[in-house]
Structures are given as structure tokens and as C-alpha cells.
Chain A
Amino acid sequence: MSPPDLETDVLVIGGGMAAAWAAISAAQNGAAVVLADKGFVGTSGVTATAGPGHWWVPPDPSLREAAIERRYQTSFGLADREWMARIIDVTWRTLPQLTGYYPFASGADGKTYYPGVRGPEYMRALRRYAIESGVRILDHHPTLELLAHRDGSVAGASGYARLERRAWSARAGAVVMATGGCAFRSGLIGSHNNTGDGYLMAAEAGAELSGMEFSVIYSISPAWNSTRTLPYMAARFYDADGVELDIPPTMSGLAHHRALASALMNGPVSADLVDAPPVLKEKLRHIQPASLAPFERRGVRLFEDRFEVKLFGEGTIRGVGGLRIIDDACQTTVRGLFAAGDTATREHVAGATSGGGAQNSAWALTSGLAAGAGAARLATRGGRREGDRALGVGGAGLRPGGSVGQVDERAAVEVIQGQMLAYDKALWRNRESLERSRTLLDDVWDEISAHRRAEGLDQVGARETAAQAATARWCAAAAIARDESRGMHQRVDAPQTLRDGDRRLLVGGLDQVWTRYETEPARQAPVEPAL
């Protein structure tokens, strides 16, 4: 291949909050850092359109212990108390560093309020902080594949600069994958770019995944546009005849989603927000302006009119699964490759349930800092190895295994969505339907990997489709292999939570997907603790 455009110590792939924190951390640990994002750092990813609250517990040992214990109980035995303590502590110490970049205001007690931040301002702040820390940001530089040395360690990445319409490549001493999770193009707000690209690229380099069975979660929104869910918490629901539905409240979790999904499978469902808190009705515009636009521009009065709703799948975004990490620096099983945010499995702090935004944001922040520091340490110690030969390891969509031919990608994505987002298949999993999904998904994968060879800008979409197919296959395989129900993975044919099921389930492979339970910690030359 042609010589790389760039040489750096650490390459961060992705542009949301985890990627930004990883880049900042790597730069502050002395590394030269390039961050390459598919979109624009500031608007990319699910944080930019959100308002993430971070897990926020003051440094009082008894308060922290109680918070950890409370959350551990809903992890169904899969979380790690040390990791939980760490994300609370790191988050508490880190967010105030954004003073001067983010316009922190006062809270209810008159003191500066740190834990909750508004998405566009948060991502704008992280962009500024990253640039001032010395990070070189490459917007609109989708990554297509990783580069690997002959010994299997990661050597960099290459992609396509979509505004400039040219290929790019970078050699790096270490790579942080922070491309987010995958919601299978469900329409979930902010998730269009989150197609599981990082999972696919990492798996092609030999990485393993974990917790992919924990990938079933939905959020409610108006049927015509996914928004944040704040306005709908106290909603009443009605069927097409105007009869009020008996829907358990949001906090009942699975029961709420199953009741809504059942109703939606029978016909349209409308929400009525008349019961919403009065302060919300008054203040929503100052808290989440973008939640109002889809109503005002359609002539619907949010808190007065009934409007149609649907459930938007969140896949592994608010779901848990992702790349397996094997040390405190969030290194994957591939030397030189680190994972952060939704790209990494969140089981360490969430276990088998999502836990909502607070743990998830604290995880994105902390895993970003950890991965960035670990990558910086490895790269500055091991060097960039720019003289060593490195090759692209990408397959599906780039280098077909068979004869080049036409692939109907729209149809492929529809098949994937049908298996991953359909309410009945996801919320009432059973082996028989999962096996059928697996066969259909294998066919999609086989077709893309055998025949698709994209060129130029078209490569970006081809890889997104391939990544969604790969992600769906791992989710299905893990859901079949975990022969029980646990947290968000609910099998109607195996409703019990088994006594010995509190083990993480690993999955991987491309043409042949495999699963196995984790029995002992993976061994790999350690990077020293990152923080």
C-alpha cells in the first residue's frame, strides 16, 4: 500500500464523548494524538443530542459503598465493584476540569452543578479541550479498517476522507477504538453513525466481544422522530379506539416495554402528557430545546394533544455488550488495541442491565481516560514501529472472498433490522426464533463478505452494512448460547436465572461465529495501570 499520510503515537477512532476523553487523556500523558471521526467532533454520536447525567457520588466512603452496592444488585452478578468505585471516583475528579470550556451553572443548592451536562455544549467543550490539549482532530474521516503488524499487533488504520474524497491512512503505536455501539439504524436520536464499525474492525484484527446478549433495550418517542425521553415519563397511553391502555410505569422496566410493545404490535398507540410535572411543562424549552421542535413543526401541542408513539431500539448503545477488555487500561485481546465507551463491554459497571445514563456516561468518561492513558503509555514505550511492515486486515465490503457482484444493501439492512429490532423477537426471545434469525443473518453476511467490493465514498456505507450484519450475528449467537434469562436478556423458553450463569459470555469470529463462557482472566502482556 502507499505510504501513510500520518504517523502518530496514539490514534483514536470515533468522535463522541469516550473518544474525546481518550484523546485528551492520551495527549495529557505525553503522546502525539490524532483523532479520526466519521462525522464531526461536537455533533457526532449519541451524546451530542443528549443531556448526559454522570454517576455522581461525593467522596464519602459510606455513600459510595451504598451506591455501588445498590447498583451491583441490578447487575445480576456480572459487574465488578472495583470498576464501579473507579468510575465514580474518576468522574467526580474529572468533570470540574471542564470549567472554562463548558458553561457550568448553579444547581438547586446554589453551588456549581457538575454531573448533568447538555449534549451540544458538552461535546463542544470536549472539542475545545482536546484541541487545546494538542489533539489533532480529523472530522469526516471514517475509518474503514485497522492495520496490523505481522505479529498481529495493531499498527494503525486507514479510511476515506469523505469531504476531500480521498483515502487516508495513519500509523500509530496504539489505537483506541471509540466508535460507539450499534442501534441497527433504528432511527434512535444521534445513532445514525453508530453501526458497530469498531466491533467489526477490531474483530478483524482478532478482538473478542462480551455481553452481546445484553442488547435489548428501547426508548419511547413520537412515531415520527426520536427525541430524548424526558417529556414522556408520566405519559398515559391509548389505543386506536381511544381506550386507555394498562401500561406499567417506566420504572418497571421490562414489564413497561413488553406492555407497550404488545400494544404497538396490535396497532397505533398514542401518548397523552397531561399528567407531566407542571415544572417540566414550563421549563422543557430551557432544558431540552430540541425535544420541542418535532412537535412545534408539526403543529402538535406536546402537553395537550395526544400523539402517536413508538419504541426505538437502542441495541448496544444503551445495551451493554461490546469489545472484551482485559485490564484496567481497557486493552482488548489484541496487542495495541484499546476500547472505550459503548465500543467496550460495559458489563464491568452495569452487568446485565443498562442502568440508564448515569453509569453509562461515567463509564464512557472513565474508560476513555483509561484507554487514552494506556495507549499513550504503550505507544511511548513501544514506539510507533513505523519501519515495520503493516497490512490492512479489513474484509467484508472491501475485499470480497468470491466473485465481485451486486449486493442489495437496503434489503440486507432490512433483514438485520427485522431480526434485531422487531419487538417480538427482542423482548420475547426464544431459541427457535433466534436460530431462524441466525440463519437469515448468516446469509446476509455471506453475501456481503463474498461479493461486495466498494470503491471511494461507497466504502463507508458498505462497511456500515457489514458491521451491522456482524454485530447482529454476535448478538444472536450470544442470545442463543446464554440458555437462561438475566437482566435485559429474556428468553421465554428459559425464563430462570441460573445459579451458575453469573459468568460473562464471550463471542467472536467472522465467517464462523463462536461463543464461550469466560472462565478465567485473559492473559496478555500487561500495560501498567492507567490512572
Chain B
Amino acid sequence: MIAHIFEELCTGCNACVSACPTHVLDPGPTGTPLIARPDQCQTCFMCELYCPADAIYVGADQRGPEVIDPDSIRASSQLGRLRRDYDWAESGEAPDKLADFWRLGPLLMEGSEIAAKRYAQKQAATPAGSTARS
């Protein structure tokens, strides 16, 4: 759930107000948007991705609000981390920034096969007559 907007970093552009798909934010009287409806936050991190100033921190837990210490968040590597990981921090398109994306399908399959093989081996090793726990 969205936890904090850093007033000292926020430029008041309201990109997050617009980008939030669930209307969590309202434009604020001082420029920094207000977290007006946190109960509507789905923890999708899209506000962070769309914040050009890396001024937003979304907490990990979607079930409820998180009290954070702004100083330690700023000191951590998490502020703006998602935008850097998505490569949205660069102006213009970095070449082949999605170079590994094709691996998604094969990795899903590989993971599934690892589980299937492990399960088959376990079934084969289970002594006849014993009941599997499920």
C-alpha cells in the first residue's frame, strides 16, 4: 500500500494522480498530492513507475497501511528502484532493454517441469500402500 510521498522530492506535476488507476490520490493544496483514499490502493507500484522524481514509496503489504521512517527509506536503495529496474529512468529508449523478456515463457515451463519431475520421483519413492499427505 502506498506509504509516503516525499514532499522535498515531489515537483507537484501530479503525474501520479493521473496514473493511479484506482483514484487513490488527489492534487494537494501545497503541490504535493494527497494520499486521499489509501483503502483503494492495490499496491500495483504504477505510481512509482510514473513518478519522474522518484518521490513515492509504496509499502510491500497490500492488506494495510505501513508506518515507515522516511529517512531510512531515502537511505535505502528502494526509492526509485522500480523505475530503474524497468529502465524507465533513462530518457529515450535504451536499446534491447527487454533483452531477457523472451525467457518468461521458457522459465515458466522450466519451473513447472522441475515441480512435475520432483513430484513424480517422490510418488515413485513412496512405498506402496502408504497414503500421500495433501
Contact = CB atoms under 8 A, between A and B. Distances in A.
B4 interface: no
Contact of B22 (A39, A246, A298): A39
Given A140-B23, A192-B22, A234-B112, A294 B103 contact: no
Contact of B85 (A105, A258, A285): A285
B98 interface: yes
Given A245-B134, A248-B119, A43 B61 contact: no
Interface string B63-105: 1000000000000001001100110100001001111111111
B7 interface: no
A230 B60 contact: no
A225 to B, nearest CB: 5
Contact of A277 (B46, B107, B122): B107
Contact of A39 (B20, B107, B115): B20
A162 B111 contact: no
Nearest to B1: A225
Nearest to B48: A293
A189 B44 contact: yes
Nearest to B61: A224
A286 interface: yes
B127 to A, nearest CB: 14
A283 B46 contact: no
B99 to A, nearest CB: 5
A116 B102 contact: yes
A245 B133 CA distance: 7
Nearest to A263: B134
Nearest to B49: A120
A484 interface: no
B11 interface: no
Interface stretch (A45-53, A324-332, A334-342): A45-53
B12 interface: no
Contacts, number: 192
A42 B18 CA distance: 10
Nearest to A115: B105
A404 interface: no
B81 A275 contact: no
Contact of A116 (B50, B96, B105): B105
Contacts of A280: 107, 110-111
A139 B61 contact: no
Interface stretch (A106-114, A345-353, A515-523): A106-114
B78 A275 contact: no
A42 B19 contact: yes
Given A191-B42, A225-B61, A103 B21 contact: no
Contact of B18 (A139, A189, A232, A289): A139
B45 interface: yes
A498 interface: no
B44 A187 contact: no
Contacts of B119: 247-249
Interface residues on chain B, size class: 35 or more
Interface string A25-46: 0000000000000111011110
A247 B97 CA distance: 37
A292 B45 CA distance: 11
Interface string A272-313: 000111011001011111101111111000000000000000
A152 to B, nearest CB: 33
B17 A163 contact: yes
A287 B100 contact: yes
B112 A233 contact: yes
B103 to A, nearest CB: 6
Given A51-B101, A234-B111, A246-B134, A298 B61 contact: yes
A121 interface: yes
Interface in A249-272: 249-252, 258-259, 262-263
A229 B17 CA distance: 28
B102 to A, nearest CB: 4
Contacts of A40: 18-21
A235 interface: yes
Contacts of A231: 111
A190 B42 contact: yes
Contact of B21 (A43, A276, A294): A43
Contacts of A121: 98
A189 B42 contact: yes
Contacts of B112: 233-234, 249-251
21 contacts: A39-B22, A39-B23, A40-B18, A43-B20, A43-B44, A43-B46, A53-B105, A103-B93, A104-B98, A139-B18, A224-B60, A230-B108, A233-B108, A246-B132, A250-B112, A252-B116, A279-B107, A283-B100, A283-B107, A287-B101, A287-B103
Interface of A: 15, 38-40, 42-45, 48-49, 51, 53, 103-108, 113, 115-118, 120-121, 139-140, 162-163, 187, 189-193, 224-226, 230-236, 245-252, 258-259, 262-263, 275-277, 279-280, 283, 285-290, 292-298
Interface of B: 17-23, 40, 42-46, 49-50, 58-63, 78, 81-82, 85-86, 88, 93, 96-108, 110-112, 114-116, 118-119, 122, 132-134
